[in-house]
């Protein structure tokens, strides 16, 4: 059995066992005794932002079109004789995959036939099959997905905001790419990116459910350690220089909507400095901002209720804060018949909130609600499966989230908010109703 390291949370009474196989793959297991369902996720540190990179020893940098990471996700699910989904379905397992800005993941869940499904997961991800013909065929499928995104007002609102906030960083680009960029993807390009980013040493396998960590590691080792993997490449991910300013303060697009959709937010000026190297400082920033945003604009906040009573928002109003090692932003979004007035009221509310200071009692009430939600989340294998690697790939531990939430004082969260909510770093994206054809 490969040697194990254990991380444990006394508060949650949860434990994660880690090991690294001879082939380089990291394996992590969280055992949940008594749970019938099991999840397995195999993920690589490769996402839509990784469009330019340099391999040690190579003569120059490699630049790829937008959408290659997402295209790889699609193609790996296709076997020479059919779809991997059919194999999982025959085993009674649910399968899925996802690509985001920084990672690509493949997963399945099941009650029975865990080990055959487990073998299938590791086998198909580690055994690519690309041909000129099947790559060309896939382009049409992905183009349909892109056109669906183009027709989604909510999607376009968020994407418009990112394009307004960022000048050059690839977070502003569509994860699936564009119709033009997808047409430029080739079989050889897919193999090059696969060899670069799908080496086991750049990947992590995570299993959650009532299954032994030793059994998981032994099974993965038996499947993979005998394979002839090339030496792990040394990869430098190259990002363009990104100015601290926003690119434009407002963008607008007309679409088939019954009322305007507004998405507005702030570019985080200190995400890179605080998140590099990623780890505990980044985790404190993310969780601290979550608690502060709940306090500021959660459904029980004074601001939220005032906006609702004024008819400026409905139940669609929401917020988010996302921070990685080289980008970060806070965002508000929702439907509103008065988008400019909504933005004005929220920015005024933020200014008043920061001027008055965070109310310690209200922050503590928010802390208790957030921690309660976190504790309930650890009863959801789906939540754990989808979020463990998101934390792990940022050098953060999901099982530390409650302890971190308990330790953040109001002053720390307010300090981050004062940096983040800079009016000069605000951008607005509005989707307006399209005028009926023929109307003058």
Residue 439 scores a pLDDT above 70: no
Active site residue 133: no
Which listed residue (3, 15, 66, 73) is catalytic? 73
| Residue linked to tokens 């080792």 | 221
Q: Of the given ranges (173-182, 268-277, 309-318, 418-427), which has the lowest mean pLDDT?
A: 268-277
CA-to-CA distance for 81 and 421, rounded, in angstroms? 53
Q: What is the mean pLDDT of residues 377-383?
A: 95
List the one residue out of 108, 320, 280 whose CA is nearest residue 205.
108
Determine the pLDDT at residue 232. Answer: 92
Residue 396 scores a pLDDT above 70: yes
The CATH number of the structural domain formed by 5-237 is: 3.30.830.10
- Domain 5-237 and domain 250-433 have a common topology: yes
Determine the pLDDT at residue 59. Answer: 87
Determine the pLDDT at residue 183. Answer: 96
Residue 81 scores a pLDDT above 80: no
Residues 179, 146 contacting (CB under 8 angstroms): yes
Determine the pLDDT at residue 143. Answer: 95
Average pLDDT, the chain: 93
Tell me how crowded residue 58 is: count the other CB atoms within 10 A of its CB.
Answer: 13
Write the pLDDT tens digit of every residue in 334-343.
Answer: 999 999 999 9
CA-to-CA distance for 217 and 210, rounded, in angstroms? 14
The CATH number of the structural domain formed by 250-433 is: 3.30.830.10
| Residue linked to tokens 């953060």 | 396
Determine the pLDDT at residue 58. Answer: 86
User: Residue 250: helix, strand or coil by DSSP?
Assistant: strand
Strand ordering across the sheet containing 235-237: 62-63, 52-55, 235-237
Write the pLDDT tens digit of every residue in 262-305.
Answer: 999 999 987 765 544 557 888 999 999 999 999 999 999 999 99
Question: pTM of the entire structure?
Answer: 0.93
Determine the pLDDT at residue 325. Answer: 82
Write the pLDDT tens digit of every residue in 187-230.
Answer: 999 999 999 999 999 999 999 999 999 999 999 999 999 898 99
Residues 413, 289 contacting (CB under 8 angstroms): yes
pLDDT tier at 123 (50, 70, 90 boundaries)?
Answer: very high
Helices (H), 198-332: 213-224, 271-275, 280-297, 302-309
Determine the pLDDT at residue 135. Answer: 93
Domain boundaries, the chain: 5-237, 250-433
Determine the pLDDT at residue 272. Answer: 65
Determine the pLDDT at residue 277. Answer: 55
Residue 440 scores a pLDDT above 70: no
Determine the pLDDT at residue 269. Answer: 86
């Amino acid at each position: 059995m490969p040697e194990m390291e254990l991380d444990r949370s006394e508060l949650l009474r949860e434990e994660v066992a880690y090991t690294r196989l001879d082939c380089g793959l990291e394996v992590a297991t969280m055992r949940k005794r008594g749970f019938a369902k099991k999840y397995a996720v195999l993920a690589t540190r490769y996402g839509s932002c990784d469009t330019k990179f340099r391999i040690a020893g190579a003569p120059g940098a490699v630049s790829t079109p937008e959408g290659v990471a997402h295209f790889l996700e699609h193609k790996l699910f296709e076997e020479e004789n059919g779809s991997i989904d059919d194999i999982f379905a025959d085993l009674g397992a649910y399968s899925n995959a996802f690509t985001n800005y920084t990672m690509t993941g493949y997963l399945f869940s099941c009650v029975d036939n865990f080990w055959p499904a487990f073998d299938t997961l590791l086998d198909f991800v580690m055994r690519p099959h690309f041909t000129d013909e099947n790559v060309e065929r896939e382009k049409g499928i992905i183009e349909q997905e892109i056109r669906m995104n183009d027709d989604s007002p909510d999607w376009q609102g968020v994407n418009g905001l990112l394009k307004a906030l960022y000048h050059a960083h690839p977070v502003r680009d569509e994860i699936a790419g564009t119709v033009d960029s997808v047409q430029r993807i080739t079989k050889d390009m897919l193999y090059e990116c696969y060899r670069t980013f799908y080496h086991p040493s750049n990947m992590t396998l995570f299993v959650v459910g009532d299954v032994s960590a030793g059994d998981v590691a032994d099974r993965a080792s038996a499947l993979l350690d005998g394979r002839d993997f090339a030496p792990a490449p040394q990869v430098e991910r190259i990002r363009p220089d990104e100015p601290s300013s926003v690119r434009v303060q407002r963008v607008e697009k007309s679409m088939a909507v019954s009322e305007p959709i507004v998405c507005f937010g702030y570019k985080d000026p200190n995400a890179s400095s605080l998140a590099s190297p990623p780890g505990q400082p980044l985790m404190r920033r993310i969780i601290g901002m979550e608690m502060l945003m709940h306090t500021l604009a959660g459904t029980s906040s004074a601001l939220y209720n005032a906006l609702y009573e004024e008819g400026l928002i409905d139940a669609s109003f929401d917020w988010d804060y996302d921070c990685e090692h080289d980008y970060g932003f806070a965002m508000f979004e929702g439907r509103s018949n008065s988008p400019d007035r909504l933005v004005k009221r929220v920015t005024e509310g933020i200014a008043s909130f920061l001027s008055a200071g965070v109310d310690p009692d209200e922050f503590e009430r928010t802390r208790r609600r957030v921690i309660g939600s976190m504790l309930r989340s650890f009863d959801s294998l789906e939540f754990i499966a989808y979020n463990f690697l998101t934390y792990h790939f940022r050098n953060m531990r999901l099982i530390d989230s409650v302890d971190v939430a308990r330790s953040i004082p109001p002053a720390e969260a307010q300090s981050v908010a004062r940096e983040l909510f800079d009016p000069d770093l605000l951008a607005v994206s509005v989707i307006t109703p399209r005028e009926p054809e023929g109307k003058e």
